Structure 1
Amino acid sequence: MYVRVNLKIILFSLIILFSIFVFLNLYHKYNNITFPIEYIISPLLPTNISHTISIISIVDNDNIDNYEVAINTIKCYAAHFNYKYLLLNINRYPNLTKLCHQKDFMYKRHCFLAKYIESNLNEDDIILFIDADIGIINPGHSIEEYIPKDGEEIIFYERIFNHEVMAGSFFIKNSVYTRNFLINWSKYDFKHPDSFDGSDNVGLHYLLLDYIPDVYTKNKLKCHEIWKSAKDWRDCSIFVACTKYIISKACRYNNSIQNETNEYYSLDGDKIKILKKATKRVWVRDVWLTNSLWSLNDFMLHGMKMNKINSWLFGYWYLQLNMKEFNFAHCYSNKYLYNWIHYKRYFTTNEHIKSLLSVYKNQVKKLFYQELSESKIETF
């Protein structure tokens, strides 16, 4: 009897193990079904663009392994469409870094960028600045879809999962105006309060208030008091909500040179645009927001760090591309799309992505009003 029971247990265990093996094998095969390349259509670049377009990332050491996927996709895309791609290690430019005395690299990079483009690029050239962990998921878009137009000098966008204006990617024209903006931004390394300051992405918001006439920002010192006493990221979030409230309010004054629409905030007579969350001119979003899913409306994704693939770290993500098939020689030919071999399970519809992002947008909207109330700026 005892032997029969043991045999049944062994047989049952073998059946379970076999079932698990079959499931994992099928799951692995499903995960590795690649996305038909015909779904992505190479964009036709406009012929009336007279400016050179450069994509620039700035780092402070030569170890860029953590950005391998992101950098390879950007590099290939730029090579194919004849954009300049500049991955700049500031330590290789001592003649420029000696002009930038910031201690925080995140601020220093903006000073360096201003000095570099002044010395090396032509006036009015277009620059797309990106963090090194931003890559291209869908090469079916052209950069020309997103560049500054008319009197626009600088284009920022709002992040989806918080109140912030993104500091890690923006468009600028190479001009005295934008270089001064970058220098003024970098100077906040010396001007930020001695608190949990949040580095350049938080400092950017107080800088933006400098580009609104004082008559519209008379209450900004209230925001500064919050920043001055900040002890953590939540305090910084309250500070950012405070500054965003002032920006929005300044845009609503009659005869103001600021403006607000459903798509953007416009500051300093349209020179500075801040695109609102997930609007159509936004070129990049965080990869982890949709559990690594993407759709044809997506162009670039932020947060593509190798050490966060399949991890449990904040911002973890799953690799959507079969990089084993990546061949840089294809980048210069009509086969360049074959470097974007997507795993099918991560592709979805535009509507599904919009729905997923809307959940974050609604949550952040509620949090904004909650933190705005805590800031007490509305009582002024």
Structure 2
Amino acid sequence: ALKLQTPEWTSNMSQPYYIYPKPRNDTSIDVHIVVVVVQGTPMKNYATARQSVECYGALHNYTLAVFYDDRYKECSDHRDIFFKRHCNVHLYMKEKMRENSWLLFIDGDVGVVNPRVLIEEYIKPGYEIYLFDRFWNWEIAALSYLVKNNERGRGWVNGFATFEFQLPKSHHGTDNGALHPYMMFYLVPETRNATTRSRMSSLCLSIWNRSTSWDDVFAMEACCRTGYGWSRDLWTLHSHWTDDDFMMHAVKEKDLKPYPEDESERQRCHVSALAG
């Protein structure tokens, strides 16, 4: 049984509850859970999270691999510890996993709280790469991904790992920030080339190249995900927009700054509204 301690601020007031999960019946889907830890990091730092994942993997017959990031010498060229993890994941997929099996990569501090949920519940026909959003901002999480071990899946992980060598000399946000330009390049190949990318994609990369803070990184992430939607949040780019934009959300009178009015333009808008 898995014992969970609820936070003190809940109505249960520190009363534990228990979950009694059953092993999965269908083990035909081969899943590897992989955790890559920076060399020298004491494993005890993640003891609770790791033990929960170990129990979960043993219960459902998932393969669990936890290892340091110096496992593969081919990854020694990486200087960013986060991208070095993805390099190790790619080589693990090539060396240890069967073709068409599945990889779930997770950070070392990710733990299981509900072992009744199966990893394959997130797998849908026709899809081979799974990412998820962090709920508090526009960010696609780099802390975990679910990928099929085939040419496309391995190529995606390897491409993400080697994207380290395209990082700008700015506050780039390491793999958390880089995942967004990488996905933009991956999904819209013409954005890779300065001569074929749109003005919006150029703007996103410009924000990244000039970034000096996490606020800039978050603005870049929102920009990369704007795509061709008809509306976006005005505040994400500090009230700036381009000819590619159409509508803006969060235009509130209390947030607007005074600006000299052009009475002729205002009258023209009024007449246009009446005519409609």
TM range (shorter): 0.7 to 0.9
Shift of 1:172: 0.4
Q: Measured at CA, do residues 231 and 82 of structure 1 come closer, stay the same or move farther in structure 2, by a change above 3 Å?
A: same
* Deviant stretches of 4+, over 6 Å: none
Task: State the SS of the aligned residue for 1:178.
Answer: helix
Q: Measured at CA, do residues 377 and 197 of structure 1 come closer, stay the same or move farther in structure 2, by a change above 3 Å?
A: farther
Equivalenced residue count is: 228
Shift of 1:122: 0.6
Q: Measured at CA, do residues 72 and 44 of structure 1 come closer, stay the same or move farther in structure 2, by a change above 3 Å?
A: closer
Which AA in structure 1 matches 2:145?
F
Q: Measured at CA, do residues 222 and 240 of structure 1 come closer, stay the same or move farther in structure 2, by a change above 3 Å?
A: same
Q: What TM-score results when the alignment is normalised by the length of structure 2?
A: 0.75
Corresponding position of 1:287? none
The question of 1:123 aligning with 2:103 is answered no
For each residue in 1:166-202, what CA deviation from the matched residue of structure 2 results, as whole angstroms up to 9, or x when unmatched?
0011100011111111121122211111000100011
The question of 1:81 aligning with 2:57 is answered no
Shift of 1:231: 0.2
Distance 2:214 2:183 in 1: 20
Task: State the SS of the aligned residue for 1:239.
Answer: helix
For each residue in 1:320-349, what CA deviation from the matched residue of structure 2 results, as whole angstroms up to 9, or x when unmatched?
xxxxxxxxxxxxxxxxxxxxxxxxxxxxxx
Q: Measured at CA, do residues 137 and 240 of structure 1 come closer, stay the same or move farther in structure 2, by a change above 3 Å?
A: same
Corresponding position of 2:118? 142
Deviates more, 1:224-233 or 1:79-88: 79-88
Task: State the SS of the aligned residue for 1:33.
Answer: coil
Task: State the SS of the aligned residue for 1:136.
Answer: coil
Distance 1:65 1:140 in 2: 26
More helix per residue: 1
Q: Measured at CA, do residues 43 and 236 of structure 1 come closer, stay the same or move farther in structure 2, by a change above 3 Å?
A: same
1:192 counterpart (134, 154, 167): 167
| Structure 2 contact 69–84 (Cα < 8 Å) conserved | no
Distance 2:221 2:183 in 1: 11
5 Å-filtered alignment, 1:191-340, equals: 191-214=166-189, 218-219=198-199, 220-246=201-227, 249=228
Task: State the SS of the aligned residue for 1:134.
Answer: coil
The question of 1:34 aligning with 2:16 is answered yes
5 Å-filtered alignment, 1:92-171, equals: 93=71, 96-146=72-122, 148-171=123-146
Task: State the SS of the aligned residue for 1:129.
Answer: strand
| Structure 2 contact 171–211 (Cα < 8 Å) conserved | yes
Task: State the SS of the aligned residue for 1:195.
Answer: coil
Task: State the SS of the aligned residue for 2:57.
Answer: helix
| Structure 2 contact 29–120 (Cα < 8 Å) conserved | no
Q: Measured at CA, do residues 117 and 215 of structure 1 come closer, stay the same or move farther in structure 2, by a change above 3 Å?
A: closer
Which AA in structure 1 matches 2:157?
L
The question of 1:371 aligning with 2:239 is answered no
Deviates more, 1:56-65 or 1:160-169: 56-65
Unpaired stretches in structure 1, ≥5 consecutive residues = 1-26, 253-364
| Structure 2 contact 23–60 (Cα < 8 Å) conserved | no
Distance 1:374 1:112 in 2: 41
Distance 2:93 2:51 in 1: 23
CA RMSD for the aligned pairs?
Answer: 2.5
Identity of aligned residues (%): 26
Shift of 1:143: 1.6
Corresponding position of 1:68? 47
Which AA in structure 2 matches 1:234?
D
Q: Measured at CA, do residues 214 and 119 of structure 1 come closer, stay the same or move farther in structure 2, by a change above 3 Å?
A: closer
Task: State the SS of the aligned residue for 1:171.
Answer: strand
Which AA in structure 2 matches 1:34?
P
